Structure 1
């Protein structure tokens, strides 16, 4: 297959932990050709979605890890599969990219994850569709609602709907210290909608990333454990990652959501679970492939390419 990855700039890859790199290594080992482009490289020309694309070959070196041919313009329909792996922020440029990729689909391109599904599944808000698995949660920009929720639950987490890597997450305990300032900051004085959840004490044991590929559950999660004094387990926020077998509850959550999300065109999903509660549904560029593989021997990238091949 000719696989085109819509990804962030290659020089910024941290190959020792990058999940997109792991996908590329697995695909290349099976004889598939690798091509890359960025969202900004796409255009509509003559009604066709085209992109400035580079073919790459992997060197096996983690530092000088690829060689790239000269960029060439190609219709995206020239590729067997386009794999969307661009990191958030999920801003308007990202949304415009999903529109272009959706048009490319109408021209015969197979895109994973499906652009419409990416656009329709806000990674925070999507949990509301599966409220049987969530801790008490509200989504609002109204200060009175937020204060009432805090008064009821006493210990809460507040976070923006468009954050990544743990950015902008605050905990307010029963003392209510700085609650007003945090509400003003996150809601921009009532102009921006945020999420507020009851604090889940099990965060000290890790924010578990549970991967679902092709509707099937990866048998290990990566528990991202907060560093001392933090409530965020995100690796980008200094958390440490520990791979572990799934709990019965993890399997229940992932087993329920997996087929539903696959049916919507989401080949790869990263569910975030704290304790027994679903907290996020990640659909843009879920990670943790390499950490799980390195610690357990389970080849997550192999499972992903298997699923991709089965659909082609």
Structure 2
């Protein structure tokens, strides 16, 4: 199998990133691994789709850390390949990372992912559905019963009325963005700064105002979903609890949050079951959902992180069932290529 991983850029990749772990697992099994960035695409004169990839030498590495060193070394060569020869393209970039400084790059994975599908490549997650998920408005398409009450607006009066409805306790965040960037918790202590918070976010677009869920005091639970189902090995779920850092409402690990092991209860499984049909309908192969109580606060369909941390805490390697699922899809596609489109193949 030839598998390509599309990322924002190589400088922002790290040894413990989920993409690294998945690429390492694929290479350990003898598959050819490529890395692609937004600068690498080439749509040629004959309408063939090429990419100037980083081709990781075949072989094995003792762990994903050693694999990452090889990836960044001179042994990993640049090569122009015809994407029609690639079996799988995994879109692992975060469009919001590029939207300000490199707007041309933000949706390049989606655009060229669609072109790859036309040329017979299986693209995960499905690029057509990802195009509808480039901002948090996609979140509003999930069943209302698992969403915290939310409004999206640029009107300060709307937000103030919403805050009053919720006794002054709300969360404000930008419609576009990720990683906890630009997130504010409004309460009675800082209500006098509400105008400044609204201005800071609305300067770049729409504002999401969301009711504050009391269970958020305990942090959120990041749960991975694979083929629309909670990812697990035996009775161990690919999940962790992310607690807020000191003096910071954000539970994102890189924003100061702390990761802890967590037991997945019937509450989280019920939430996962409610959103399962939507994930399947949209061809979302690998997703990270953030759960607080019986609500989901976010659905990360682009580059869900913490896969390595979940594996370490559970004493298993969750990259194995993910690559197992990819291999299975490739086998099915080889036998029944004409029977499934990319969106269905992504979650079969």
Q: Which of 250, 253, 268 is residue 286 of structure 2 equivalent to?
A: 268
The reply to whether residue 113 of structure 1 matches residue 125 of structure 2 is yes
Counterpart in the other structure of 2:87: 80
Counterpart in the other structure of 1:14: 14
Aligned with 1:24: secondary structure?
A: helix
- Partners of 2:92 and 2:303 within 8 A in 1: yes
Counterpart in the other structure of 1:34: 33
- Partners of 1:81 and 1:111 within 8 A in 2: yes
Counterpart in the other structure of 2:307: 289
Unaligned stretches of 5+ residues in structure 2:
232-236, 331-348
Counterpart in the other structure of 1:50: 50
**RMSD between superposed Cα atoms in Å:** 1.9
Counterpart in the other structure of 1:135: 148
The 3 A distance-change label for structure 1 pair 122 and 250 is: farther
Question: How big is each residue's C-alpha offset from its partner over 1:131-162, in whole Å with a ceiling of 9 and x where there is no partner?
Answer: 11012111111111101001111101100011
Counterpart in the other structure of 1:2: 2
Give the structure-1-normalised TM-score: 0.93
- Partners of 1:155 and 1:199 within 8 A in 2: yes
Counterpart in the other structure of 2:187: 173
Question: How big is each residue's C-alpha offset from its partner over 1:208-263, in whole Å with a ceiling of 9 and x where there is no partner?
Answer: 11110112202242111111221110011110111212121211111222343133
Task: Give the number of the structure whose residues are more often strand, by fraction.
Answer: 1
The 3 A distance-change label for structure 1 pair 308 and 266 is: same
- Partners of 1:53 and 1:74 within 8 A in 2: yes
- Partners of 1:203 and 1:233 within 8 A in 2: no
Counterpart in the other structure of 1:224: 242
The reply to whether residue 164 of structure 1 matches residue 182 of structure 2 is no
User: How far is 1:100 from its partner?
Assistant: 1.6
The 3 A distance-change label for structure 1 pair 99 and 241 is: same
The reply to whether residue 98 of structure 1 matches residue 110 of structure 2 is yes
Aligned with 1:28: secondary structure?
A: helix
- Partners of 1:225 and 1:241 within 8 A in 2: yes
C-alpha distance in structure 2 between counterparts of 1:6 and 1:270, whole Å: 18
C-alpha distance in structure 1 between counterparts of 2:123 and 2:137, whole Å: 23
C-alpha distance in structure 1 between counterparts of 2:299 and 2:12, whole Å: 25
Q: Which of 151, 159, 162 is residue 164 of structure 2 equivalent to?
A: 151
- Partners of 1:126 and 1:280 within 8 A in 2: no
C-alpha distance in structure 2 between counterparts of 1:271 and 1:104, whole Å: 27
- Partners of 1:200 and 1:274 within 8 A in 2: yes
C-alpha distance in structure 2 between counterparts of 1:197 and 1:290, whole Å: 30
Counterpart in the other structure of 1:60: 62
Structure 1 segments, 4+ long, off by >4 Å, are none
The 3 A distance-change label for structure 1 pair 273 and 123 is: farther
Q: Which of 166, 182, 188 is residue 197 of structure 2 equivalent to?
A: 182
C-alpha distance in structure 1 between counterparts of 2:300 and 2:289, whole Å: 6
C-alpha distance in structure 1 between counterparts of 2:35 and 2:107, whole Å: 19
Give the structure-2-normalised TM-score: 0.83
C-alpha distance in structure 1 between counterparts of 2:7 and 2:284, whole Å: 17
